[in-house]
Structure 1
Amino acid sequence: MQHHLASRLDHISSFHVMELMKMAAELEAEGRHLIHMGIGEPDFTAPTDVIAAATAAMAEGKLQYTSALGLPALRSAISSHYRDQFGLDVPAQRIIVTAGASAALLLACAALVEAGKEVLMPDPSYPCNRHFVAAFEGRARLIPSGPAERFQLSAQMVREHWGAQTAGVLLASPSNPTGTSIPQSELREIIDIVKQRGGYTIVDEIYQGLSYEGAPFSALSLDSDVVVINSFSKYFNMTGWRLGWLVVPESIVPAVEKLAQNLFICASAVAQHAALACFTPDSLAVYAARKEEFRRRRDYLVPALRELGLDVPVTPDGAFYVYADCSRFSDDADAFAKQVLREAGVVIVPGKDFGPATAHRYVRLSYANSLENLQEAVRRLKTFLHPEKS
């Protein structure tokens, strides 16, 4: 039987990188040893306190549905985290615990995106962000952004591209795939421009804890009306636990709660009880040490790639990604990534998924892998790119 699919699917692309991952799996099945620099996932797992809290929650039978807004204790803990880390007063009643940052973005788009309206975002950007907009029949308008803008939207770009059908902007700082952040003064100006035009600003801050230059800040410090997405996946190393949160203006909490009740019921109860232990002194010390390890890896990898001839025009200041220009070696980043996989045994991601502006020139490399493995990857890349020197 042929089923008729909704037309909105025409505006949602597949992850092209999955083809590369299938190729990698086939090579590994043949016995090849690969260095993985493609996955956007910490190589660390949850600390001891978090595992113990999950075990205790299961042993004590704390497995029932929670409020759609999340455990009150966890919402309060996140509120305290904003106070302790950023000096911000973010009331717990504005915090909604979600089934990962993906659910937070889904709820934000369900509440704010109107059919046919535009949402501005940079090209390159994480593909799911534009697909959430498309899922609610909005139109993601990708604005090409290069090294001069740190691969981010600038205030001037927002001014120039805001039109009659524009309703808001969706930003990520630090960003996937580039690891770059929007400077505080620039972000403030963007928020002001959007607010003057009656629009909304959504800021994905899931890599906020992994900021390496200067004091990290939240967009919430610039304007309390900003909608902010965050997650326990990246900084807190809980990817498979599927837990995140959303901060919204208090006036729209009832609307988002209604959506959460209907779309998700609640986030995982076990994951929520476990996440309470993310904020213990021991866990916070673990996260701080792991952040420094990510910084150490970045400080090794960026100059190493530049020495190989893979240009890194903007040093990433956050997350665990490097966005590198491979045009010295190929005018087709997708073909280049596949050749690197087959011949060098290193998994990297082409820019194809992140938008057309950088698709052919750039590849993304993740340093969410051990320093030893990163050093081996660089050795393999050197042999592949410069066989005459090997």
Structure 2
Amino acid sequence: MSINLSNKLQVAQRVHAIEPFRVMEMVKAAGDMRRGGIDVISMSVGEPDFTAPDVVAHAAMEAIKGGVTQYTDSLGLRELREAIAGHYAKVHGLDIDPRRIVVTAGASAGLLLACAALIGEGDEVLMPDPCYPCNRHFVSSFGGKPVLVPAAAEDRYQLTAAHVAATWSERTRGVLVASPSNPTGTSMTPEQLQAMLAAVRARGGFAIIDEIYQGLSYDHQPVSALALDENVITVNSFSKYFSMTGWRLGWLVVPDCLAPTFEKLAQNLFICAPTVAQQAALACFTPEALATYEERRREFQRRRDYLVPALVDLGFEVPVMPDGAFYVYADISKLAHPQAQDSTAFCWSVLKEAHVAIVPGDDFGFAAPARHVRFSYATKQERIEEALARLRAFLGR
């Protein structure tokens, strides 16, 4: 079905199920203010302030100089898939056959491929509320129906086996979850993840697990869903831990029986992921690059350990300590501020008056979004300290 626009062009009905990405609206407004000469501190967008290490950038330049820029196999460079498999062996002790790895044009392309492969018209997919907003739009784009299940702080804002049992219907096909999560920065415990996967498996459903922030885990060794269930589909990325956001490179690990399906879809929808980015990513797994990434992970942890207590001191509530990614999901409802019951109005006031960009909860679902805001600490420590000083003044503390 389509909708007529001025009797000239028609837009498909599915477009109207996709809401604006409010994070990016905040980013645009902050950019306009900067161009007007205002110093705005960004704690909104989920993008590391670090960029690719020199060894990775050098590998990209060498690929360009050498003319290594033609299409690759639709599943990705064999060498890169082998390097990713080796990374799973080293970090998680898992033996992943490289033929199960699909290199994609970012994690978003991986999620689109997974939805294209698994979701039919009217199929329901469970996901926690709050969650990354694009996830529900990926599902809608292929005719599915995202079902957001309110997840409380005591559940670490994650989907549980009890949620699956209570919400599963005859139209439900599977679940889509992220661990660690955007916007909360919280991971599922291994026990919680295992129980949730068992509940899905008992109902014959699929599980898509977004693990793009797993490299940025702080309080424990992360457990990949691949260690618990060989039939899950995991999504990962070179954007966050590997600091390559604009390079648009990610990967999937899929069950062996589905590899031909994903190859066929990748051939038709994307041809292949960017070749230069793939060549550069080979250098991500060198000892030099991995040492850099680990130091950056420790720096993110230091920022978290500074930011969370400082926010609590200002009156924000953080009921669950984020253990990964670079986000804090904070409750503003007890702040002594006239807009503390409306996170959207609160965030716009913070931007206009304190010149700090943070994100309202209404981007991430429907479970009490007016009470919540998301802070990103993917910015330099001194800027975080200055942002907190501005918030203190803004709140009259």
Interval of TM-score (by shorter of Structure 1 and Structure 2): over 0.9
* 1:380 matched to 2:390: yes
Equivalent in the alignment of 2:212: 206
Following superposition, the deviation at residue 375 of structure 1 comes to 0.6
Equivalent in the alignment of 1:153: 159
In structure 2, distance between residues paired with 1:40 and 1:17: 9
Equivalent in the alignment of 1:191: 197
TM-score by length of 2: 0.96
In structure 2, distance between residues paired with 1:46 and 1:325: 34
The unaligned stretches of length 5 or more in structure 1 are none
Following superposition, the deviation at residue 372 of structure 1 comes to 0.7
Runs of 4+ in structure 1 displaced over 6 angstroms? Answer: none
SS in 1 for 2:259: helix
* 1:113 matched to 2:119: yes
8 Å contact kept, 2:69–2:275: yes
In structure 2, distance between residues paired with 1:17 and 1:58: 34
* 1:370 matched to 2:380: yes
In structure 2, distance between residues paired with 1:30 and 1:270: 36
In structure 2, distance between residues paired with 1:42 and 1:239: 8
Following superposition, the deviation at residue 17 of structure 1 comes to 3.0
Within a 5 Å distance, the mapping from 1:115-134 to structure 2 comes to: 115-134=121-140
Equivalent in the alignment of 1:163: 169
In structure 1, distance between residues paired with 2:180 and 2:25: 26
Within a 5 Å distance, the mapping from 1:85-100 to structure 2 comes to: 85-100=91-106
Following superposition, the deviation at residue 28 of structure 1 comes to 1.5
In structure 2, distance between residues paired with 1:170 and 1:270: 30
Equivalent in the alignment of 2:150: 144
Q: CA RMSD in A?
A: 0.9
In structure 2, distance between residues paired with 1:106 and 1:369: 29
Paired AA for residue 331 in structure 1: Q
In structure 2, distance between residues paired with 1:14 and 1:95: 32
In structure 2, distance between residues paired with 1:56 and 1:132: 35
SS in 1 for 2:19: coil
* 1:333 matched to 2:343: yes
In structure 2, distance between residues paired with 1:106 and 1:372: 37
* 1:21 matched to 2:27: yes
Following superposition, the deviation at residue 168 of structure 1 comes to 0.1
In structure 1, distance between residues paired with 2:22 and 2:91: 37
Equivalent in the alignment of 1:248: 254
SS in 2 for 1:179: coil
In structure 2, distance between residues paired with 1:146 and 1:185: 17
Equivalent in the alignment of 1:320: 326
Paired AA for residue 327 in structure 1: S
* 1:278 matched to 2:284: yes
Paired AA for residue 286 in structure 1: T
| Range with greater deviation from structure 2 (11-20 or 198-207) | 11-20
Name which of 238, 243, 246 aligns with 2:244: 238
| Range with greater deviation from structure 2 (172-181 or 21-30) | 21-30
In structure 1, distance between residues paired with 2:83 and 2:362: 39
In structure 2, distance between residues paired with 1:29 and 1:67: 42
Paired AA for residue 360 in structure 1: A
SS in 2 for 1:5: strand
Name which of 11, 25, 40 aligns with 2:17: 11
Equivalent in the alignment of 1:357: 367
In structure 2, distance between residues paired with 1:170 and 1:317: 20
What percentage of aligned pairs have identical amino acids? 57
8 Å contact kept, 1:124–1:358: no
In structure 2, distance between residues paired with 1:304 and 1:57: 45
Following superposition, the deviation at residue 15 of structure 1 comes to 1.1
SS in 2 for 1:122: strand
Following superposition, the deviation at residue 155 of structure 1 comes to 1.0
In structure 1, distance between residues paired with 2:275 and 2:24: 31
TM-score by length of 1: 0.98
**Per-residue Cα deviation, 1:54-79 (whole angstroms, up to 9, x for no partner):** 01111111000000000000000000
8 Å contact kept, 1:232–1:238: yes
**Per-residue Cα deviation, 1:293-322 (whole angstroms, up to 9, x for no partner):** 000000000000000001111110000000
Name which of 51, 61, 75 aligns with 1:55: 61
The unaligned stretches of length 5 or more in structure 2 are 1-6
Following superposition, the deviation at residue 86 of structure 1 comes to 0.7
Paired AA for residue 228 in structure 2: L
Equivalent in the alignment of 1:348: 358
**Per-residue Cα deviation, 1:26-62 (whole angstroms, up to 9, x for no partner):** 2212211111100100000001110111011111110
* 1:73 matched to 2:79: yes
Name which of 35, 43, 65 aligns with 1:37: 43
8 Å contact kept, 2:26–2:44: no
Following superposition, the deviation at residue 16 of structure 1 comes to 2.3
Following superposition, the deviation at residue 3 of structure 1 comes to 1.5
Following superposition, the deviation at residue 10 of structure 1 comes to 2.2
8 Å contact kept, 2:164–2:196: yes
In structure 2, distance between residues paired with 1:167 and 1:122: 15
Paired AA for residue 10 in structure 2: H
Name which of 310, 333, 343 aligns with 2:316: 310
Number of residue equivalences: 387
SS in 1 for 2:262: helix
**Per-residue Cα deviation, 1:214-270 (whole angstroms, up to 9, x for no partner):** 111110000110000000000000000000000000101101100000000000000
